[in-house]
Amino acid sequence: MTGQRRMAMVWGSRVIGRELDDMNASIGYHPAEGQLVYIQTGLKHVSFSLLAALLLAGCEQSSVHHEWIGPKMLSVVTEDDQVSATIKTHVLHTPHYEIYTTIDDRPDLIARTAQLMEGGFDAYRTLAPNVQPTNYPMKCFLFANNVQWRDFTRQHTGPDSDIYLKITRGGYTIHDWYVAYYIGDITTYSVAAHEGWHQFVNRHFKGRLPPFLEEGLACMFENVEWNNDLPRWNLSMNPARTLSLRRAMDAGELFTLDQLVTLHAGMVVNQSNIRIEAFYAQCWAFARFMWEGENGKYRPALQKLFQDTADGSVADPTGSLRNSYHSWNPAGVKPMLEHYLGQDLTETSKEFTDFEKKIAYQEMSSQFEL
């Protein structure tokens, strides 16, 4: 399994994050993808009463940052087609990606996907500006349907194919490939932007980000808006994760930060749905906390952490985060975070708890742009 170190996939109604390396294997799950679809496609209409009820709880409101990022102009895309006896594959070339797709009846969708990946690349680099990009393209495979995707997966995932083939909706990241199939416009874009972060990290980082942090950062890109055909991200906005955080908080099901930093998705997979939702929502909240919490105090630390992880020199006393092909030792995360944040995790935990409350209660209306 050399090289198969990180994967994330959509399985049934759930997005699944999976991690493998050449030493061990584990599986993890994202919160309900079906719910994400529901929220993203219909919340303003269908779930308005729920949202209104939350807002009527009556608390001081606070807005998320209104900074939207994205490319100013369309990326250059060239296309050539590969035609076999049975199938036509469009191959789109952008500066950083090579996108293979069998979607043949939606030129608008495949054109947007190319812009999404290329715009996403710049957005990922907003987080990690000092990481040097490679000079050869990352491959993306976007199939028109599940049957084609299954064929490809059988041919390319070897002994692991049984695991992949259990996926009934969506895609995964393996090596630095993103492999998916069409599951509706909004979710296809959302999953692509999420997986694109994993793909970016797999390609460019020698070391391994703590799994909870890598997942949280990927969630920061899920909410894709469009300005004509240009993708837009607001790294503070994710209405679906906000609702999850609120639900978990109200149910008293949040993880403590001490717990959260040692987790990967596979460790919560067998827990209740509310705990699974809590895990991803808190990962997302913590990624945001490091990016913008305490007025951006920790952003330089996060960027130093990215740089050191990319270099393979991250300050992890267990050494396991310095090489992504090593087994991961969760015990290294707490001291590593304390080193970069310059304070005890207990102190960070207090600030993070306040930040979570701010998201779940004060930001709710602005997350939905109400």
Tokens of 364: 């709710």
Residue 9 is a binding residue for Zn ion (CB under 5 A): no
> Between 8 and 209, whose beta carbon lies closer to Zn ion?
8
Question: Which window, 69-77, 157-165, 208-216, 321-329, contacts Zn ion (CB under 5 A)?
Answer: 208-216
Q: What is the dihedral of CA 220, 293, 240, 138, to 10 degrees?
A: 0
- From candidates 218, 276, 290, 302, binder to Zn ion by CB under 5 A: 218
Residue 210 is a binding residue for Zn ion (CB under 5 A): no
Q: Kindly identify the residues of this chain, within the stretch 14-53, that bind Zn ion according to CB under 5 A.
A: 17
Q: How many CB atoms lie within 10 A of CB 126?
A: 11
Output b/e per residue, 170-186; b: 16+ Cβ within 10 A: bbbbbbbbbbbbbbebe
3-state SS assignment for residue 172: strand
> Between 8 and 193, whose beta carbon lies closer to Zn ion?
8
Least distance CB 218 / Zn ion (angstroms):
4
Residue 223's closest CA among 51, 345, 11, 366? 366
Residues 61/362, Cβ–Cβ less than 8 Å: yes
Least distance CB 61 / Zn ion (angstroms):
30
Residue 12 class from Cβ within 10 Å (0-12 exposed, 13-18 middle, 19+ buried)? middle
> Between 215 and 316, whose beta carbon lies closer to Zn ion?
215
> Between 15 and 54, whose beta carbon lies closer to Zn ion?
15
Question: Which window, 4-12, 49-57, 235-243, 289-297, contacts Zn ion (CB under 5 A)?
Answer: 4-12
Least distance CB 18 / Zn ion (angstroms):
9
Least distance CB 296 / Zn ion (angstroms):
25
Least distance CB 214 / Zn ion (angstroms):
7
* Gyration radius from the chain CA atoms: 20
Question: Which window, 62-70, 85-93, 123-131, 216-224, contacts Zn ion (CB under 5 A)?
Answer: 216-224
- Applying CB under 5 A, the site for Zn ion has a residue count of 4
User: In what helix (H) or strand (E) does residue 356 lie, and over which residues does it extend?
Assistant: helix 345-357
Least distance CB 194 / Zn ion (angstroms):
6
Distance of CA 67 to the CA centre of its chain: 19
Residues belonging to the chain = 370
Q: What residues have CB less than 8 Å from 56, skipping those under 6 apart?
A: none
How many whole angstroms separate alpha carbon 134 and alpha carbon 131? 9
Residue 8 is a binding residue for Zn ion (CB under 5 A): yes
Least distance CB 170 / Zn ion (angstroms):
11
Question: Which window, 1-9, 153-161, 243-251, 334-342, contacts Zn ion (CB under 5 A)?
Answer: 1-9
Residue 120 is a binding residue for Zn ion (CB under 5 A): no
> Between 218 and 305, whose beta carbon lies closer to Zn ion?
218
Tokens of 277: 């939702």
Which amino acid does the sequence have at 218? A
Query: Which residue ranges make up the site for Zn ion (CB under 5 A)?
Result: 8, 17, 215, 218
